[in-house]
Structure 1
Amino acid sequence: MGEKLFHDPQLSSDGTVVCASCHIVALGGDDGLVKSLGVAGAEGDVNPPSVLNVSLNARQFWNGRALDLREQLQGPIHNPIEMNNNWDLVAERLRSNQDYVKAFADAFNAGITQKNIEDALLSYERTMVRPNSDFDAFIQGDELAFTEPELKGFESFNDLGCVSCHQGANLGGNLYQRLGLFHDYFADKEQIHESDYGLYLVTGDEKDRYKFRVPGLRNVAQTAPYFHDGTSPTLHDAVSKMAYYQLGVSLDVNTVENIVAFLKTLSAEPLNVADSSHQEHGSEAQHDDVHDQEHHQMDEIPPKEHEHEEHHDHARQTQPMKPNLYASHRHMPAENEQ
């Protein structure tokens, strides 16, 4: 039922937008646009984050303004440039559909209520955890899960310090960080918008200006464009820019290639969607156009070949450093700890 609601246009005021308009779960959990389109074609403020593995995040939205998924649900429903609706009207519409009336009566004693609609959606969103990537196989001891470039990329990811922010069960999503630690990201932007202020919009504390919730990296190869403003069109570009702005280093082409190869191992098999017929604004055609350079479905990834025994030895030497960083999920630090 939650899946049906996720694809139901009745959640939006004009019946043109569904949750899956901005979050196409069968692809990468986003819509491939720089900024999503809401009711009447209104453009959003930020690049839509992926909904896949969203339950692993300690805070929701780029600026972390929602403490949990239930609070996050309130955002798009009420936002005038997203769904522009309210729960009373949503419930009224659902009560006019006998299939929903029966389904809710079977699942909930109180039938169709705001809380029960939320619970159904939340139950569906919590099924979107995808722990079956090559990365997961590798950290569980499969020495053949990584190719040599992927293994080198994983080592660079750790050695350069990417893992200091991208760690935990979702490889991110559990702390805030300022965008532009070593070089001023926003000084290089042509124009700064209110949405660039990040956590500052939540706390009003100047030290939180330009801080954002670190995004999780699972399925990152499928979610271009990147960053809160969607200004990085490819994964190669995003890796290079993150190294420069966050780590203060300029990476050579081979290192970027290897890190990108590693990041692609974080892609899991896509979710099966029973009904994607209402993905109005976030069509598959739009998504594929934006991901043209680097978006790969699982069946397009060539089989891996491991020709040399030294690769296996290399993998065995690398594995001991992984479990403490990735097997558990850290809590988001309190705002006064930033």
Structure 2
Amino acid sequence: MPEPPAADPLKLALGERLFADTRLSNDGKLACSSCHDINTNGTGREYAMARHDGSKAPFDTLTIFNAPLSFRLNWEGNFRTLEAQAESSLENPANMATSVEDVVGRLNADPEIVRQFRAAYGRAPDRSSLLDALATFEKSLITPGSRFDRWLAGETSALSAAELHGYEIFKSFGCVSCHQGVNVGGNLFQRQGIFRPLVHAKPDVVRVPSLRNVATTAPYFHDGSAATLQETVRKMAAAQLDRSLTDDQVSALVAFLQTLTGNYRGIPVKAAPP
């Protein structure tokens, strides 16, 4: 896992401020941080959250941590860039229910944030600077320093024997076929339920999620239907690999997955409170 990329500190600070700014929503009640809490696991507290329009969210909220390392964004993988995803979120009537133009107008009415934009971009807020500032901050949301990363770097004592056994199962059973690369996933699409049903909600094909910080981001699957890692591991093995796992195998795999928790600004990522 790389360190966060170098960034202009003025753009980074501006992006962080915008990420928590409720003026990015139509009624001033929601910010990006409302669903992506960077003080905990980078996602929402629970799956069954009410959206801006009062409807139930069809997808479990993915963590914003390490999102820049995935080859597509969202469960359906329908965005290639952070800027495109941010603009879509602003315009989605079920979420922010606004537009880039309206947000820019509200920001331009604030002399202090206009000053911050001019310092960072040399001009007042506009579409490109707004989306670039948000993307610049989101690109910084990388969580290096997991025990697995330390082990990969040569710290042999970073993983226990049980965790190493889980890693061997993870590779030998085929989990690594989809969950690989720097983000331990996030770099291909896959069909859900190859040998038996996995989830009841569409779509059948989703972008494979990253397993980084997975121990902190319950519930699991795109519909949030699995409450624990133990349940998730059993269901995945049966549906995707046609395997029935023993209790010891489940425990070993979960132990390995718990080593994938990294650090944000030097502090371990943690689960959101219930």
Higher-RCO chain (CA-CA 8 Å, sequence separation at least 6): 1
| Structure 1 residue 271 displacement after superposition | 4.4
For the residue of structure 2 that corresponds to 1:265, the secondary structure is: helix
Match of 1:263 among 229, 248, 257: 257
| Structure 1 residue 20 displacement after superposition | 0.9
What letter matches 2:272 in structure 1?
H
Q: Deviations over 1:2-52 (max 9, x none)?
A: 111111110011111111111111211111311443325443221011100
Q: Deviations over 1:200-224 (max 9, x none)?
A: xxxxxxxxxx111000010000100
Give the Cα separation in 1 of the matches to 2:70 and 2:49. Answer: 21
Are residue 8 (structure 1) and residue 2 (structure 2) matched?
A: no
Give the Cα separation in 2 of the matches to 1:47 and 1:156. Answer: 27
Are residue 236 (structure 1) and residue 225 (structure 2) matched?
A: no
Give the Cα separation in 2 of the matches to 1:35 and 1:271. Answer: 29
Are residue 215 (structure 1) and residue 213 (structure 2) matched?
A: no
Are residue 97 (structure 1) and residue 110 (structure 2) matched?
A: yes
Are residue 138 (structure 1) and residue 151 (structure 2) matched?
A: yes
Give the Cα separation in 1 of the matches to 2:45 and 2:265. Answer: 17
Are residue 287 (structure 1) and residue 266 (structure 2) matched?
A: no
Give the Cα separation in 2 of the matches to 1:35 and 1:115. Answer: 33
Match of 1:52 among 52, 60, 65: 65
Structure 1 unaligned residues grouped into runs of 5+ = 198-209, 274-283, 290-338
What letter matches 1:100 in structure 2?
I
2:189 matched residue in structure 1: 176
> How many aligned positions are there?
259
Give the Cα separation in 1 of the matches to 2:231 and 2:265. Answer: 27
Give the Cα separation in 1 of the matches to 2:212 and 2:187. Answer: 13
Match of 1:154 among 167, 180, 188: 167
Give the Cα separation in 1 of the matches to 2:73 and 2:151. Answer: 28
For the residue of structure 2 that corresponds to 1:287, the secondary structure is: coil
Query: More deviation in 225-234 or 39-48?
Result: 39-48
- Give me the CA root mean square deviation: 1.7
Max Rg structure: 1
Structure 2 unaligned residues grouped into runs of 5+ = 1-13
Give the Cα separation in 1 of the matches to 2:53 and 2:207. Answer: 29
1:78 matched residue in structure 2: 91
Identity over aligned pairs, percent = 37
1:29 matched residue in structure 2: 42
Give the Cα separation in 2 of the matches to 1:219 and 1:150. Answer: 15
Native 8 Å contact 1:42 1:82 kept in 2: no
2:5 matched residue in structure 1: none
Match of 2:198 among 185, 201, 223: 185
Task: Give runs of aligned pairs for residues 314-325 of structure 1, distance below 5 A.
Answer: none
Give the Cα separation in 2 of the matches to 1:153 and 1:145. Answer: 14
Q: Deviations over 1:155-188 (max 9, x none)?
A: 11111100000001100110000001111335xx
What letter matches 1:62 in structure 2?
W
Q: TM-score, normalised to structure 2's length?
A: 0.90
Give the Cα separation in 1 of the matches to 2:105 and 2:144. Answer: 37
Give the Cα separation in 1 of the matches to 2:206 and 2:61. Answer: 14
Native 8 Å contact 1:108 1:116 kept in 2: yes
Give the Cα separation in 1 of the matches to 2:263 and 2:144. Answer: 9
| Structure 1 residue 72 displacement after superposition | 1.1
For the residue of structure 2 that corresponds to 1:177, the secondary structure is: strand
Native 8 Å contact 1:12 1:39 kept in 2: no
Q: 1:272 to 1:87 in 2, by over 3 A?
A: farther
| Structure 1 residue 272 displacement after superposition | 7.8
